[in-house]
Structure 1
Amino acid sequence: MYKSFKVPSSEVPGYSATHRHPEYKDGTQNNKYANITTVYELFKTAETNHPKAEFLGTREFAPKTGKFGPFEWISTTDAAEITDEFGAGLDNVYAKYAPELDSFTGQQPLGIYSVNRAEWLLTELAGFRSRRYSVGVCDSAGVDCAEFIINHSGLQVIVCSLDKIPRMLDRMANTPKVKVIISMDKLDCSKPNLSTQAFTPATVDKLKSKAAALGLVLFDMSQVIQMGQSKPTQATLPKSSDYCTLCYSSGTTGAQKGVLTTHGGLIHAARSAQLTLKTENTTYLSFVPLVHCLDRYGIYTFMFGFIQIGFYSGDMNNLVDDMQTLRPTIIVAVPRLLNRIYDRIASSTIGAKGAVGFLSRMGFKSKVKRLQAGRSAKHALWDKLIFNKVANIFGGRVKLMISGAATIDPNVLTFFRTSFSCDVLQGYGQTENMGSTTLSPLGDPSTNHVGLPNPGVDVRLRSIPEMGYQVTDAPCPRGEVMVRSDSVFKGYYLEPDKTAETMDGEWLATGDVARINLDGTFTIIDRIKNIVKTAQGMWVAPERLESIYNTNPLVQTTFVHGDEHERNLIAIAVPDPVSFIPWARALVSQPKADLADLCANEKVAVTLAEQLKVHGALAGLSAQEQICAVHLEPTPFENVNIGFYTSTFKLRRRIMIVHYRKEFKATFAKLGTNDAAAVDTELFLSA
């Protein structure tokens, strides 16, 4: 059965037919929720429909014990009061210190600089009250990344957590436009959390003195709220056509670009997902960085059916405890995190030895058969014996998981569906479309695709003849993904030329390569700029290969690399210490060798490469797609202070290639020019 709706007679030379959601064949959203046109209206509607309901939750931190307590909640009514008073206070701040409008947007930007927390969302909503648009500041790629965003967006007022203030003051010479910093945390240190535990009133006094010497004004949120209380202002509510956020793209292949999205665009994106998911009364844990569009896309989608948002404690090492405390019903995550969780859970269940492993594998196979037969994965016996314990890792109430930002391995997808007995969907989108392009259908057990176009979103492919991808390819069209929708961005900030390059008329050219499958679903092959051409003339998609190799229990992360002057592919591999160290020690008979020594051992590197070849072969990789050698890196990529990762944990490939150029050269040299031997999987497995 063809699952998408193919618009009749929509093919033109070089382009595939236009595809739409089968329930919204006219390309509209049927006026559902038509009364909501801005994000601020969405919030006020939630307040009206659910007064005094628990809305924003935060875990209190106890410095003496270093532990977190239960979630404490701000109600919708209290949140509305805070945003009104804080918004009025911001009006006073802007009027006195930064009154001018941005010449490009005709509005005023409001910077937000912190990890996910209730104040992040409250600040954004308070800015919306007076037509200001949010600019999320990210430093996951290093302080230079934050400086770039602050300067490029022209920020003069920034709301941030207390721990960000010292680094901003230290580098004020590099961000001269900033005039006001507003601390989310009280400057008297009366309410401790992870951001404030290193501060005392004395150290904060030094910050105040330094800010004054630099000509900066320093407030905290409570002070600005008091301004709004003592000098209230009339709200200037945004229109659908007003900008609501300037969201910076991940910058995986080059400099970051500021993506301008309107209120109408974000509402269209959120509404399209809500029409498909039909969520009601969601409990949600926010931990994917809010500076990226994915988490806000999820939050505003679920707000249509009302959402209770618990914010993680700020420490990813404490994420499982946060989940078990909140017990969310929906989780939105990125594949890299799900892969890490999969490695831990699978190794103690279906990958375990003895009776536990035997029973887990039996239960897993039984539940997979139920899924493939179109039935629920729930199974009274196997869930009671094994899988209820797995589900309790996330609190035991998860009904839906959504993976976005990159492709997830089919084995990981199936494992979560069976283990948690819930829908696990893949979504596909880009910052330029506020994340809203396709989503896999509820109840669909198939994998290897990112689903169907969302309601109100048109999707087609454009041929890429120079790379051998044609929309006339049989049996499945292939080409660049093109998107037409009201959620498509309004342009790159200050870069009209790049905006023009990205648009093909009214269609967004995503830069992603996809295949339209025989059933009308879409599969992402890779990004055009990320595809590698080897000396054999073959185009290879490294990210797809990495998603496969990363599921091997011996590795934590891989980075696959090829070169047009080399016949073979190689990789940098970061081992998973838990499984790798005992395996490698046994291999070289060195029971006390540490991780660094094992990574430097040539026998270990060669043997791991062979293991990964077998792993890839079992996943269906061709000989040309297999890596032929690895360089072992004992330091996780995220611990290298260079900024290998974007805010959504995508690798910045260009930076990686430059940083590891010596290692790549040495690894290629070890291979020479000989073709890699084919992997005899059956022989390896029978040995």
Structure 2
Amino acid sequence: METEKSKDVSIDVKGNDSTNFKNHFRDPPCKVEKARPIQQDCKSITYRSSSQPKELHIALVREKIDTMAKMLDYVSKKYPNKRCLGTREILAEEDEVQPNGRVFKKYDMGDYRWKTFSEVNILATNFGKGLRELGNPPGQNIVIFAETRAEWMIAAHGIFKQNIPLVTIYATLGDEAIAHGINETEVTTVITSFDLLPKFKKILALTPMVKTLIYMEDQLKKLENTDGYKEGIEILKFGDVLKKGAESKIVALPPKGDDVAIIMYTSGSTGVPKGVILLQKNLIATLKGFCDSTSIYANDVMIGFLPLAHVFELLVESVCLLAGVPIGYSGALTMIDSSSKIKKGSKGDATVLRPTVLTAVPLILDRISKTIQEKVSKSSDIKKILFKFAYDYKTSWTKRGYSTPIIDRIIFAPVAKIMGGNMRLMISGGAPLSPETHEQISTCLCVTIIQGYGLTESTSSACVQDEYDMDYGRVGAPCTICDIKVVSWEEGNYRVTDKPYPRGECILGGDNISAGYYKLPDKTNEDFYNEEGKRWFKTGDIIEVHHDGVIKIIDRKKDLVKLQAGEYVSLGKVEAQLKTCPLVDNICVYGESSKDFCVALVVPNQHQLKELAERRGIVNKEFEELCQDPQLEKAVMQEIAEHGKKGKLEKFEIPAAVKLVSEVWSPDMGLVTAAFKLKRKDIQERYKHEIKRMYAS
């Protein structure tokens, strides 16, 4: 089969042919140095990007844009009549009778309705002035507690324009964590959505300072009454605030670069959420870094669905706005044709929008990967052989820097149509993406996946992978706005003198580094410091730096457990490997220093578990019963052990006992964060008896 070598590295997304989801021509992975040491001693090495600023970064500097308010004004003048933010129209909600007689509520949906850049800027201006009319002055914190949607972005920019610090809280957090963020920041006004109003009814009892609720309206339903809300609370529609602002004579008080833009509450994996203080200049620094590291063009279309309360999604969407890219909003219930709210015969958001750019977290990509594996496993033997040949053929040529347009069109195009058939770029963040998932999604969906590394404390930026880097498992070189210092960690036996690569704790420095934690001076002083005019943050992540200056995350200080025999086990590393096992939907590995082995709590994949049970002669049992079956538990243990060996885990790293858990871990249970990172202490507390039994066995 013919392959073609690239002569042009640009990616064409103009043609809307369903097979034109990716340019047929690719360059081989760059071998050039991505970062170089700028300072070095026996205990640390500091690396800086070798890349040069690109066009959008230069434009931000040239136009003296140092705040988000200036950024929106700039793009609204540059692209006044271009599509900016889009919302899918919901025409009606209908009852749909299923073959088993059950009735589900489904949406009859229309097209996307768009607001131009100019309209978004006017709406943001009016919303900010409306808040001022309601008595919220510059400098007084205000909360957005809502799902990702166009109104979220409009409200945020309205708040930025008036130099009001925006407090962001995940909509999936528990009531006490939400109340903690609201009370700690002493807000009196909360912006939420119609769907979340019932949840907020209960939270109001825990937040005595809140006097005003502003809700983003629903397309079909109206707020009939306000019974059950605490006395004295004022409830306003989003549109009411826009109207007040449009009639207002208030003069805007725009922020400066050193003013607080966001207090972002991270759903931390330990303890109560911490508020991370992000300045306007932090956001602009990350914008510059992302513009230099990602290939986003004015003719792209982004589908937005990750939480905007997560700094990663907010900044990627902001890069899209800066590049003049329209953003169409979606959600898990309506994204694809088979989503639970899409009525039979109707199209999901991705099919209608036909996006080219998407952000994702590894958990979502892992699920897509397992869905692909499941479909292949159910196909005929001939189809399996054909698929394996096509997969091996494509990965072989891709690693050499070639594309496979014919194989893509014949074998992989139907899979790519799930996301509209035009997808070319997926940006993964929030946690490490396994090399296996990275390769499979990239191959089968015919997309480029780049993963980045960053934290809320670094305004989500630190490293971004080069899109032509075929060495999966690396997170890229330092961004142009951020230096990376690797410091020896003697306790973990990671040193900058290690061969072949320097290893140690990752410390980040630059204009993207947060001012610290809100009302937590001791914790701020512990994790942050200033040196030689630069702000630095200790990440706790252990990295190795390859010859080309690209970073690989290999461990985490807090995830390291020392077993009885003296071996160190990186729980996160083991979990990342075992999560690629088809049987595993989620896993939490636990180790005690008084024992010589680890154990694991496993949330199994329902379909895979039932198939395994049938192969073992266990039939006519519900999923919950299967999870309690000791025979099946042993079978899962064997499968996981084999998978671990194939993944080159050491014997002591592979759990010696497992407990199957039938409940899916979700943020509202408090067992994972909104970015789906494990909350180890909460999981261990919930399953302490099961852990005790595993060790006793």
Q: Same fold (TM over 0.5)?
A: yes
> 2:577 aligns to what SS in structure 1?
helix
* Runs (5+) with no aligned partner, structure 2: 1-30, 96-105, 340-347
Q: Does 1:379 align with 2:372?
A: no
2:312 is the counterpart of 1:312 = no
- Residue of 155, 160, 175 corresponding to 2:207: 175
Give CA-to-partner distance per residue, 1:398-446, whole Å, 9 cap, x none: 1111111111110111112222333211100000011100011121111
Question: In the alignment, which of 56, 68, 73 is matched to residue 114 of structure 2?
Answer: 73
Residue equivalent to 2:4: none
**Which position in structure 2 is the counterpart of 1:221?**
238
Counterpart among 398, 403, 427 of residue 428 in structure 2: 403
Alignment of 1:267-666 (within 5 A): 267-281=284-298, 282-313=300-331, 315=333, 321-349=348-376, 352-376=379-403, 378-380=404-406, 382-505=407-530, 506-587=535-616, 589-638=617-666, 642-666=669-693
- Specify which structure has the higher proportion of helix: 1
Paired residue type of 1:90 = L
Please, which of 68, 93, 102 is the counterpart of residue 63 of structure 1? 93
Flag the 1:316–1:405 CA change in 2: closer, same or farther, 3 A.
farther
The Cα shift of 1:477 comes to: 1.6
C-alpha displacement at 1:520, in angstroms?
Answer: 2.4
Question: Which position in structure 2 is the counterpart of 1:678?
Answer: none
Structure 1 residue 250 corresponds to structure 2 residue 275: no
Offset, 1:40: 1.7
Cα distance in 2 between the residues matched to 1:81 and 1:72: 17
| CA distance in structure 2 between the aligned counterparts of 1:108 and 1:568, rounded to whole angstroms | 52
| 1:115–1:314 CA contact under 8 A, matched in 2 | no
Choose from 152, 162, 173 the match for 1:141: 173
Shift of 1:318: 5.4
Query: Quick one: structure 1 residues 215 and 32, their matched pair in 2 at CA, closer, same or farther if it must change by over 3 Å?
Result: closer
* Alignment partner, residue 89 of structure 1: 130
Report the 3-state secondary structure (helix = DSSP H, G, I; strand = E; otherwise coil) of the residue aligned with 1:627. coil
Is the 1:449–1:521 contact (alpha carbons within 8 Å) kept by the matching residues of 2? yes
- Corresponding residue for 1:129? 161
Per-residue deviation, 1:359: 0.8
**Aligned residue number for residue 206 of structure 1:** 227
Cα shift at 1:80: 1.6
Q: Is the 8 A contact 1:595 1:634 kept in 2?
A: yes
Q: How many residues align?
A: 639
Q: CA deviation at 1:514?
A: 1.1
Separation in structure 1 between the aligned mates of residue 336 and residue 256 of structure 2, nearest angstrom: 40
- Structure 1 residues 244, 479: CA separation in 2 closer, same or farther (over 3 Å shift)? same
1:660-682 Cα offsets, whole Å, 9 max, x none, are 11111111111xxxxxxxxxxxx
Q: CA shift at 1:502, angstroms? A: 0.7
Q: 1:421 to 1:139 in 2, by over 3 A?
A: closer
Partners of 1:301 and 1:200 in 2: CA distance? 35
Which of 234, 237, 249 is the matching residue for 2:254?
237
**Contact in 1 for aligned 2:264/2:277 (Cα 8 Å):** yes
Aligned residue type for 2:360: A
- Name the structure 2 match of 1:54: 83
Contact 1:546 1:558 in 2 (8 A): yes
Shift of 1:572: 0.8
Q: Answer yes or no: is the 8 Å Cα contact 1:367–1:379 preserved in 2.
A: no
* Superposed displacement of residue 260, structure 1: 0.8
Gaps of 5+ in 1: 102-106, 671-687
Structure 2 residue matching 1:258: 3-state secondary structure? strand
Q: Residue 527 of structure 1: CA displacement? A: 2.5
| Cα distance per residue 1:470-496 (max 9 Å; x no partner) | 222222221110111111111111112
Structure 2: distance between partners of 1:316 and 1:654: 34
- Distance of aligned partners of 1:407 and 1:182 in 2 relative to their CA distance in 1, 3 Å threshold: same
Q: Does the 8 A contact of 1:332 with 1:402 survive in 2?
A: yes
Letter in 2 for 1:264: K
CA deviation string 1:57-81 (max 9, x = no partner): 1122222352133222122122122
C-alpha deviations, 1:505-549, integer Å up to 9, x for none? 332111111111244211112321122222222221222221221
Match of 1:63, SS state, is strand
Which residue of the other structure, out of 120, 128, 149, is the alignment partner of 1:117?
149
User: How many angstroms does 1:384 deviate by?
Assistant: 2.5
TM-score, scaled relative to structure 1: 0.89
SS in 1 for 2:94: coil
Deviation at 1:634, TM superposition (A): 1.2
Q: What amino acid sits opposite 1:656 in the alignment?
A: I
**Which amino acid letter does the alignment assign opposite residue 150 of structure 2?**
A
Out of 483-492 and 252-261, give the one that drifted further: 252-261
2:417 is paired with a residue of what secondary structure? helix
One-letter code aligned to 1:379: P
In 2: Cα distance, 1:351 partner to 1:508 partner = 48
Q: Distance in 2 between matches of 1:666 and 1:408?
A: 32
Moved more, 476-485 or 65-74: 65-74
- 2:474 and 2:681 map into 1 onto residues whose CA distance is 27
* Letter in structure 1 aligned against 2:259: D
Decide whether the 8 Å contact of 1:460 with 1:481 is kept in 2.
Answer: yes
Indicate if the aligned counterparts of 1:461 and 1:471 stay in contact, CA closer than 8 A: yes
One-letter amino acid matched to 2:330: Y
| 1:3 paired residue number | 33
Q: Deviations over 1:161-209 (max 9, x none)?
A: 02323333333231111121111117xxxx32xxx4xx652xx2425xx
CA distance in 2, matches of 1:585, 1:314: 31
Tell me the CA shift for residue 29 of structure 1.
6.6
The TM-score with structure 2 as length reference comes to 0.88
Q: Is contact 2:84–2:325 with CA below 8 Å preserved after alignment? A: yes
Between the aligned partners of 1:488 and 1:34, the Cα distance in structure 2 is 23
1:340-392 CA distance string (max 9 Å, x none)? 0110012223785512211111111111011110223x331x22322001111
Whether contact under 8 Å (1:58, 1:313) holds in the other structure is: no
Letter of the 1:461 partner, please give it: V
- Which has the higher mean CA deviation after the structures are superposed, 450-459 or 139-148? 139-148
SS at match of 1:591: coil
Name the amino acid aligned to 1:74.
Answer: K
Q: CA deviation at 1:316?
A: 7.1
State the secondary structure of the residue aligned to 2:326.
Answer: strand
Kept in 2, the 8 Å contact 1:124–1:133? The answer is no
- Give SS of 1:466's match: coil
2:554 aligns to what SS in structure 1?
A: strand
Q: Is the 8 A contact 1:585 1:592 kept in 2?
A: no
Instruction: Name the amino acid aligned to 1:601.
Output: D
Distance in 2 (alpha carbons) for counterparts of 1:346 and 1:88: 52
Question: Over aligned residue pairs, what C-alpha RMSD do you find?
Answer: 2.2
Q: How many percent of aligned residue pairs carry the same amino acid?
A: 27
